[in-house]
C-alpha cells in the first residue's frame, strides 16, 4: 500500500493494490466534495508546483485540490525560479525540501523528474513529462469505473494516435488492473519499446494483454473504451502540419467507433481537443459528458495521491 513520503513518478512503479487504493480514496473524496463534507487531510501542508510546461487542468486541479484538503499550493514557474537561470535541479530539490511537504512538477524530460525525486526528501509527483502522464492515466481509470463498473479486468481499452506519454501511462494503467490494451500509431510514432516491454511484464500478473499495431481498425475491434490525444503535443507545434497529414487515418470518427462492436463503447480525451483533427466534432459532443467527467476527475485522483503521499 502507498506510504507517506512515497514518490509517484510512474504507474509502472505502483502495485495493483496501490492503484486500487488511489481509486477508492478518489471516489470517497469525490463523494465528500459533492456532499459538501470537509476533508482537511492535509491541514497545514504546502505543495510546491513547478511548471516548466504551462497547463490549464493541471494547475487548477492541484491548486484547488490542496485548498479542499486544507493545505496550500505555491505556483512555481521555471521563469520565476533559479531553475530558469541554470541552478541545478538537485539543488532546487534540496532547498524546496526544507520548505515544503511535497513537490509536483510538470516538465519536458522525464530525467528531470527522476533527478528531482532522487535529491528531494519529500514526495515528488509527476504531473507530466514527455515520457509519462500518470495522474491523467489514473484519472482515466476512475472515469472508466464510473461509466463501466468497478471491475475493469477483462475490458479492452484502445488508444489511437501518437505513441506519446498518454499511450505509455495508459498502457501501464491498463496492465495493473487487468484491462486489455491496444495502441494504434503511424509508423515512426510507436510507443517507447522499453515501456511496452515493462507493460507486458506487468500484464502477465493480471491476465491483461498489450498490443501495438499500425492499424487503427484492428486496435479498436472489441474495445469498450477508445482514447485519443492531440497529434502535436506541447513543444511539437512546428510539426503540426506534417503530423496532421500522417495522422489523418487515425482520427476518431463514427466509422472507427463502430468498429469496436460495442454499442456502449465510450470515447475519452485528456484535452485540449482539436476537433476535426484527432476527433470529429460530432463524436466529441456525443461523449462530452464522459470527457468532462474525465477532466473533473483529475481533481479527485490528484487529491487522493496527495493525501496518501503527504498526509499523516
**Considering 7, 12, 68, 106, which one is annotated as catalytic?**
106
> Any idea which architecture 136-296 has in CATH?
3-Layer(aba) Sandwich (3.40)
- For the chain, give every domain's residue range: 11-133+297-310, 136-296
CA dist., res. 114 & res. 99, Å (int): 20
Question: According to the model, what pLDDT value does residue 84 have?
Answer: 66
Catalytic choice (7, 110, 130, 136):
136
**136 catalytic residue (yes or no):** yes
Residues 18, 130, 202, 229: which is the catalytic one?
A: 229
Own/partner pairs, 87-96, CB within 8 angstroms, 24+ separation: 89/115, 89/116, 89/119, 90/115, 90/116, 90/118, 90/119, 91/119, 92/50, 92/116, 93/117, 93/118, 93/119, 93/120, 93/124, 94/119, 94/120, 94/121, 96/48, 96/120, 96/122
Please give the pLDDT value at position 239. 85
- CATH topology for 11-133+297-310? Rossmann fold (3.40.50)
Q: How far, in Å, are 23, 264, 268 from residue 257 at the CA level?
A: 27, 10, 12
Residue 72 among the catalytic residues: no
Q: Give pLDDT, residue 108.
A: 94
Whether 94 is catalytic: no
pLDDT given at position 78:
76
In this prediction the pTM is 0.97
Q: Are the folds of 11-133+297-310 and 136-296 the same? A: yes
Is residue 162 flagged as an active site residue?
no
Establish whether 264 is a catalytic residue.
Answer: no
Whether 270 sits among the annotated catalytic residues: the reply is: yes
233 is in an annotated binding site: yes
The verdict on whether residue 298 carries a ligand-binding annotation is yes
Q: What are the average pLDDT values for consecutive 10-residue runs of the chain, which has 312 residues?
A: 93 98 98 98 98 93 98 90 80 96 97 97 98 98 97 98 98 98 98 98 98 98 98 81 95 98 98 97 98 98 98 91
Amino acid at each position: 500500500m502507498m506510504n507517506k513520503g512515497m514518490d509517484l513518478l510512474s504507474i509502472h512503479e505502483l502495485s495493483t493494490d496501490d492503484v486500487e487504493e488511489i481509486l477508492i480514496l478518489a471516489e470517497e473524496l469525490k463523494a465528500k466534495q459533492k456532499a459538501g463534507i470537509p476533508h482537511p487531510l492535509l491541514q497545514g501542508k504546502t505543495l510546491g508546483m513547478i511548471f516548466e510546461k504551462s497547463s490549464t487542468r493541471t494547475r487548477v486541479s492541484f491548486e484547488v485540490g490542496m485548498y479542499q484538503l486544507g493545505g496550500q499550493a505555491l505556483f512555481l514557474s521555471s521563469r520565476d525560479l533559479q531553475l530558469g537561470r541554470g541552478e541545478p535541479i538537485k539543488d532546487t530539490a534540496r532547498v524546496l525540501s526544507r520548505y515544503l511537504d511535497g513537490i509536483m512538477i510538470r516538465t519536458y524530460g522525464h530525467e528531470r523528474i527522476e533527478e528531482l525525486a532522487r535529491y528531494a526528501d519529500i514526495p515528488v509527483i509527476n504531473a507530466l513529462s514527455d515520457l509519462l502522464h500518470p495522474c491523467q492515466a489514473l484519472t482515466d481509470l476512475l472515469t472508466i469505473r464510473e461509466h463501466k463498473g468497478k471491475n475493469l479486468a477483462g475490458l479492452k481499452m484502445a488508444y489511437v494516435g501518437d505513441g506519446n506519454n498518454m499511450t505509455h501511462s495508459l498502457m501501464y494503467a491498463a496492465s495493473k488492473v487487468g484491462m486489455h490494451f491496444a495502441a494504434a500509431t503511424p509508423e515512426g510514432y510507436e510507443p517507447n519499446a522499453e515501456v511496452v516491454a515493462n507493460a507486458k511484464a506487468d500484464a502477465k500478473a493480471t491476465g491483461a494483454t498489450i498490443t501495438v499495431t499500425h492499424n487503427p481498425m484492428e486496435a479498436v475491434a472489441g474495445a469498450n473504451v477508445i482514447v485519443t490525444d492531440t497529434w502535436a503535443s506541447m513543444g511539437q507545434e512546428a510539426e503540426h502540419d506534417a503530423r496532421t497529414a500522417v495522422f489523418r487515418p487515425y482520427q476518431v470518427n463514427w466509422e472507427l467507433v463502430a468498429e469496436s462492436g460495442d454499442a456502449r463503447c465510450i470515447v475519452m480525451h485528456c484535452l485540449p481537443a482539436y476537433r476535426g483533427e484527432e476527433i470529429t466534432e460530432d463524436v466529441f459532443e456525443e461523449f462530452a459528458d464522459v470527457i468532462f467527467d474525465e477532466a473533473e476527475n483529475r481533481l479527485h485522483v490528484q487529491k487522493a495521491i496527495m493525501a496518501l503521499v503527504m498526509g499523516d
